[in-house]
Chain A
């Protein structure tokens, strides 16, 4: 199994450009998440999904959009890139709600995004 596959690994955008970060998982997980990691800070939740067709905002959703048309895929869209969106982005998934013993988060390898 590939686990959580996230692309691209690196990207440089100009202010105002748009892009989509791709995320796919092959573990049949219901829950998927997008986090951003800024230097010296803890991971922050951008958006999450509890199943195909269901998405909701996390702690820092402004400037981003998501969709979940299938169980496997959870792309993150940046519409008008701003320097404040320079960060490392991680996609993650879990089978259930991370509230029971043994539950684990599975992470993609991350995308380093710079907006100049």
Chain B
């Protein structure tokens, strides 16, 4: 079964630190999503990317198709970035959503 592995599972950092969350997958994909799940439970799409790099504010997402790996970076982290970050991939030939979700990385930013 195609899986999505995220690391680390849990991450605690100090405010201002540069954060990196990793996502690895097993076979060819057509797209990769990064999602943010707030402490209250709501889920928000951050990025969808199929190649290269995307930036939105202090968030940067990169993907290396050859290595089957993506990273989500947070610069100048802030306590409000505390959330669960979820990686999901769309495997080539997948169904209507075709998404396989990782288990998430629980990030805590301490002031």
Residues of A in contact with B (beta carbons under 8 Å apart): 31, 33, 40-45, 48, 50, 56, 58, 88, 90, 92, 94, 97-107, 109-110, 112
Which residues of the partner chain B approach A43 to less than 8 Å between Cβ atoms? 86, 88, 99, 101
CA distance A58 to B35 in the complex (A): 20
Knowing A41-B103, A109-B42 are in contact, say whether A98-B35 is a contact too (CB < 8 A): no
Indicate which residue in B49, B90, B100 contacts A98 across the interface (CB closer than 8 Å): B90
Is A45 a contact of B99 with CB atoms below 8 Å? yes
- From B31, B96, B100, contact of A42 by CB (8 A): B100
B residues near A (Cβ < 8 Å) are: 4, 30-31, 33, 35, 40-45, 48-50, 86, 88, 90, 95-104
Q: A45-B97, A48-B97, A56-B96 are in contact. Are A88 and B41 (CB under 8 A)?
A: yes
B31–A98 CB distance below 8 A: yes
A-B contact count (CB 8 A): 71
Cα–Cα distance between A90 and B31 once the two chains are bound (Å): 21
Contact B99 A99 (CB under 8 A): no
